[in-house]
Amino acid sequence: MIAVIDYGAGNLQSVLKAFQYIGSSVQVTADPEVLRAADAVVLPGVGAFGDAMENLKKSGLVNTVYDLADSNKPFLGICLGLQLLFEGSEEAPGVPGLGIFRGEIRRIPAGEGLKIPHIGWNSLEIRDKTGVFQNLPENPYVYFVHSYYLKADYKKEVAATTQYGVEIDAAVRRKNLYAMQFHPEKSGKVGLQILRNFTALTKED
């Protein structure tokens, strides 16, 4: 069973429906015991970094998230869920993130012809074609909705990049931990393949 973390700030229904569509066993929950018993865990997120961190603290799930990240089970952060895994964001100066990954969440710089927030389809340059990123087309298009982007400290953890005025670290991976700035649940066939790949990780020894 895949557990989607409900901490009061996430695009839960679209994530839930996408997993259900591909036949995955999935449950939205805020129960730490259910999360710990799950085969895999998803940390979704939409909205503001500061509000999301506050909600995560109020939910009492911060330590649970740390424990899940330290376990061997597959873990997936989506959109704001990626940003929360880092140390902080320019969107909320002085508000610490979870710090599971190292890097900066920066505001996308305004440029000629660029609209902020960045909403729409962009192609990925995939650097890690294993795990959730296998069996995808070359430079696949995925769907983004964001005003802030990741610049990771450790390039070896960057699984995919995209361009929108600047190079954006669009996805990261460290062992069982995956996180992506884009929304796989809104990214058509490519996104569904990513979610199928994530589900398949729960069946590996």
What's the pLDDT at 10? 65
pLDDT band, residue 205 (cuts 50/70/90): very low
The number of residues in the chain equals 205
Task: Please answer whether residues 12 and 6 qualify as being in contact, where contact means their C-beta atoms are separated by less than 8 angstroms.
Answer: yes
**Catalytic annotation present for 90:** no
The predicted model gives 8-18 an average pLDDT of 86
As a whole number of angstroms, the distance between CA 196 and CA 24 comes to 8
Give tens-digit pLDDT for 172-193.
999 999 999 999 999 999 999 9
Q: What one-character-per-residue DSSP string does 13-29 give?
A: HHHHHHHHHTT--EEEE
96 burial class (0-12, 13-18, 19+ CB within 10 angstroms)? exposed
As a whole number of angstroms, the distance between CA 184 and CA 14 comes to 10
Q: Two tokens at 6?
A: 């409900």
What's the pLDDT at 98? 98
Give tens-digit pLDDT for 112-157.
788 999 999 999 999 999 999 999 999 999 999 999 999 999 999 9
Out of 79, 91, 118, 146, the active site residue is 79
Write down the CATH number for the domain with range 2-201: 3.40.50.880
Q: Which residues contact 146 (CB under 8 A, 6 or more apart)?
A: 79, 108, 117, 118, 181
What's the pLDDT at 113? 82
Give tens-digit pLDDT for 60-111.
999 999 999 999 899 999 999 999 999 999 999 999 999 999 999 999 998 7
The predicted model gives 157-181 an average pLDDT of 97
CA distances (Å), origin 193, targets 84, 103, 108, 132, 154: 24, 27, 28, 8, 26
What's the pLDDT at 8? 85
Out of 118, 146, 157, 183, the active site residue is 183
Does residue 117 have a cis peptide bond before it, meaning omega lies within 30 degrees of 0? yes
**Catalytic annotation present for 183:** yes
Angle at 134 between CA 132 and CA 136, to 5 degrees: 110
The predicted model gives 6-14 an average pLDDT of 83
β-sheet bridge partners, residue 38: none
**Catalytic annotation present for 118:** no
Task: Show the beta-strand stretches assigned E in the chain.
Answer: 2-5, 26-29, 40-43, 75-78, 103-107, 118-123, 125-126, 141-146, 148-152, 158-164, 166-174, 177-180
Task: Please answer whether residues 68 and 16 qualify as being in contact, where contact means their C-beta atoms are separated by less than 8 angstroms.
Answer: no
As a whole number of angstroms, the distance between CA 196 and CA 64 comes to 25
Name the percent of the chain lying above pLDDT 90.
91
